[in-house]
Copies of this chain bind each other. A is one copy, B any other.
């Protein structure tokens, strides 16, 4: 190991993982289980030390954290911000690359892994470290990016209806909006496309099903 005249910071990743549970935007918290680490027993954002022997980069480390805690690869994972400082971790000067992740409604409904808990995004309890700051920034980013991208489709199953997307939009942004205007906007943005199917079963007209267009997030441009 090539040395460095300064003590190296502790390098971590933390993940703010969101899903829809019972119609509400929810954040995943995990019980800390390692007795060698601080705040053992407390609920916190899932995270951990970067394993430089196996993780190719920080994104891979975050992916590994989700995979080991939840058992699957997160469909959407984006870097949020890096939190750092001398005092944020009792061990030593630390640096946490924070990510946020979106998981479709229902995927985690049956997952009954011990120590995991979902809390409503608008009533997050007090968390250790600076995890409340991370969660707050993740929600702000999510709210903001929802207004100009196909981000929210990652909170829904592969095929979804416009009313469902509209409900998620209202849940995330916290604002009531006109569904007719929403429909028109989202359709000529060219970020979703009809599957050709409809969802039957309701005692009303069957809504058209759509899927996300393209594999990643689509962002829209502003003018001036």
Interface residues of A (CB under 8 A from B): 1-2, 4, 6-11, 49-53, 56-59, 79, 81-82, 84-86, 91-93, 95, 97, 147-148, 177, 181-182, 185, 222-224
Task: Point out the residue from B11, B56, B58, B185 that lies within 8 Å of A8, measured CB to CB.
Answer: B11
| A224 touches which of B10, B82, B147 (Cβ 8 Å) | B147
Chain A to chain B contacts (Cβ below 8 Å), 26 pairs? A1-B7, A2-B92, A4-B10, A4-B49, A6-B52, A6-B53, A7-B52, A7-B53, A8-B8, A8-B9, A9-B50, A9-B52, A50-B95, A52-B86, A52-B92, A52-B93, A58-B84, A59-B84, A79-B81, A82-B82, A82-B97, A84-B97, A147-B223, A147-B224, A177-B224, A222-B222
Closest 6 CB pairs of A and B: A8-B8, A57-B85, A52-B93, A58-B84, A82-B82, A57-B84
A169 CB to closest chain B CB (Å) equals 9
User: With A9-B50, A97-B84 in contact, is A185–B224 under 8 Å at CB?
Assistant: yes
CB neighbours (8 Å) of A82 from chain B are 58, 79, 82, 97
Inside 8 A of A7's CB, which chain B residues have their CB? Answer: 1, 52-53
**Contacting residues, chain B, for A85 (C-beta < 8 A):** 56-58
CB <8 Å contact, B51 and A6? yes
State whether B97 touches A222 (Cβ < 8 A).
no
Which residue of chain B is the closest to A58 with respect to CB atoms? Answer: B84
Q: Known interface pairs A58-B84, A92-B1. Does A8 touch B10 (Cβ–Cβ under 8 Å)?
A: yes
Chain B residues, CB < 8 A from A222: 147-148, 222
CB-nearest residue of chain B to A98: B82
